[in-house]
A and B are shown apart, each in its own frame.
Chain A
Amino acid sequence: MIRRLFIANRGEIALRIIRTARRLGITTVLGCSEADAESLPARFADEVVRVGPAASSQSYLSIERVIAAARGAQVCAIHPGYGFLSEKAEFAQAVAAAGILFVGPDVSSLRAMGDKLKARSVAVEAGLPVVPGGAGATREEVRARARETGYPLLLKAVAGGGGRGMKRVDAPEQLEAQVDLAMAEALAAFGDARIYVERYIAQGRHVEVQLLGDGTTTLHLGTRDCSIQRRFQKLVEEAPAPAIPAVKREAIHAAAVSLGRKLRYRGAGTVEFLVDARTFDFYFLEMNARIQVEHPVTEAITGVDLIEQQLLVADGQRLGISQDQIHIDGHAIEVRINAEDWRADFRPSPGRITRALWPAGTGIRVDTHTDTGALVPPYYDSLLGKLIVSGSDRSAAVQRLQQALQCLEIEGVKSTVDLHRVIAADPRFVRADVTTRFFEGLAHG
């Protein structure tokens, strides 16, 4: 039984972990940086240990310092939260070597999912569909790949990155000319003419499945849709993913579970898919082998405390629930409130919060470490908190979100509150017609 738990994180997730630990009678030791010594998690933890100065490289990201602090505090387990060291195999290994339980998956799962190419090949072995594609060094090879992937497709330089030299080809008759151009450009730009051919998904959605495993059993807790993003950062998440035909939804669940089984996965993890918004064909993207920021929407519709299950499994116990005990009930939406000036290209806005009014009431959950007077340091990410609303169905949840956002005010720093008011009122969002390109079509300003 875990009696003393070290929390190697900060902010809202540290507070979230403390909450469940306290309910379970576990003593918490927060390892925080000097900049977070007056934070709410530091006030609420049973004990506080300084792991280092403000810079995360010397505190939250320092394996050596975190392990030393945890050893000194004589804890039984370390919860890494999300970000920082949570998915670092070397960290999990160092925790085990120190004789401490790691609240996360086995090192083998972290290794398998930590590298994108390896993750893709493990997923293929587990029978998951991946975005069709492959590399070709000659015109003939590229043509052969194109026949496999189908149209529309994208041509990318194998050696390239960041969208440079990317070409979209809509039909076979356009291929020849575009291949020549793409290969010439790739050679000129990168000294390597090889081309990667990939199916182009014009209208894609980001859909993920929450998994729980104990090494023997793998369960899923339904889907989440996180399509509303900007620069690959999620802004809005909801559960379950709306408007997906039942057959496809079941297939997505089953695919995620088979990856979890293949890994003999232990703990909480999320399998992410790109879903074609028109055909609902889905493709494995990656797996996050940790708790995620958006986990509360799943908790809201299943009633399962995911942190509790993580702690159970880390302790060597079996999961406390079975698949037939998991029922999806209602709909939940989370919005991320960040200290950013979204009208100025999401420029960071650290500082002192002079006033924090969060909504309260039925169907409203607020996960935040920011109260009136809190300091938002410039050293870490900009998340101030998460507003999670739930309702009996999606339209009830959307309505509650719109209303709750009218009761949310952050003063002293710029925040994304009014951006979320714009999103919540957007007709595409209201009718669940959302793709990863949602932000491009947002009325700025």
Chain B
Amino acid sequence: MAGEFTLSPEDVADIVSIVDASGYGKVEVATTRFRLVLSRKNEGWTQEWNWHQAPAADAPAQVAVPAAATAAAAAVGHAGLTPVPAPLPGTFYRAPQPGAPPYVNEGDRVDEGTILGIIETMKLMSTVSASGPGTVAQILVANGTAIDAQTVLMLIKPDLA
């Protein structure tokens, strides 16, 4: 969208100072492209922009949120197996760095706290660990895949208590 800003930040400040002197508590500007709501709050004013409800006609096609891995994983039956869900959305890695051997492979023994993989979220790394002793039964998500929170990453066959 070769979009004009339509209203610059200075324009918004001007509108606020005009309506601030009036008795109005709310101003709403809506076009086919955006909606702006200015409201009084706590001695001041808030601005709320919404460009997303108004369809941008020539904007690029909507991009799928990383959902690919979720549906497939959720459909798997987990009979007798413990699912390992992703604690955060992000990118799932099976190894500490590119080229390094994976933390675990199918058939590996794990204990409580064994690192199964890492998830990179907003440039921070979080580890995913096993919750108890068992064997890696199935790895459902490939290295480097974008995942949602709660995506089942792998299935663990727990040791019998």
Contacts and interface: CB of A to CB of B under 8 A. Distances in A.
Nearest to A22: B5
Contact of A365 (B9, B39, B90, B91): B9
Contact of A378 (B38, B53, B62, B121): B121
Interface in B79-102: 88-91
Contacts of B3: 43-44
Given A34-B63, A406-B43, A407-B44, A361 B13 contact: yes
B149 to A, nearest CB: 9
Nearest to A83: B123
Which secondary structure characterizes the binding site on chain A? mixed
Contacts of A34: 63
A38 B59 contact: yes
Contact of A380 (B17, B47, B50, B122): B122
A130 interface: no
Interface in B6-63: 8-9, 12-13, 16-17, 20, 38-39, 41-53, 56, 59-63
A42 interface: yes
Contacts of A379: 90-91, 122, 146
B122 A360 contact: no
Contact of A361 (B8, B45, B61, B65): B45
Interface string B112-147: 000000000111100000000000000000001010
Contacts of B89: 350-351, 378
B37 to A, nearest CB: 9
Interface in A371-397: 371-375, 377-382
A13 B38 CA distance: 24
Interface stretch (A46-54, A161-169, A198-206, A235-243): A46-54
Interface residues of A, number: 50
A55 B144 contact: yes
Contacts of B90: 348, 350, 378-379
B63 A37 contact: yes
Contact of B123 (A42, A347, A358, A381): A381
Contacts, number: 135
Interface in A318-349: 339-340, 347-348
Most chain A Cβ neighbours within 10 Å, of B8, B39, B48, B88:
B48
B2 interface: yes
Nearest to A356: B48
A347 to B, nearest CB: 8
Contact of B65 (A22, A44, A357, A375): A375
Nearest to B60: A37
A371 B52 contact: yes
Contact of A364 (B13, B122, B124): B13
A355 interface: yes
A286 B46 CA distance: 38
Given A372-B50, A380-B122, 10 more contacts: A37-B60, A43-B56, A350-B90, A355-B48, A358-B46, A359-B46, A359-B47, A361-B13, A364-B13, A373-B50
26 contacts: A35-B63, A37-B63, A42-B59, A42-B60, A44-B3, A54-B66, A340-B122, A350-B88, A357-B41, A358-B49, A359-B47, A360-B38, A360-B47, A361-B44, A366-B9, A378-B88, A378-B89, A378-B122, A381-B123, A382-B122, A382-B123, A406-B42, A406-B43, A406-B44, A407-B42, A407-B46
Smallest CB-CB A-B distances: 4 pairs:
A373-B52, A348-B122, A360-B47, A371-B49
Interface of A: 19, 22, 34-35, 37-38, 40, 42-44, 46-48, 50, 54-55, 339-340, 347-348, 350-351, 355-362, 364-366, 371-375, 377-382, 403-404, 406-409
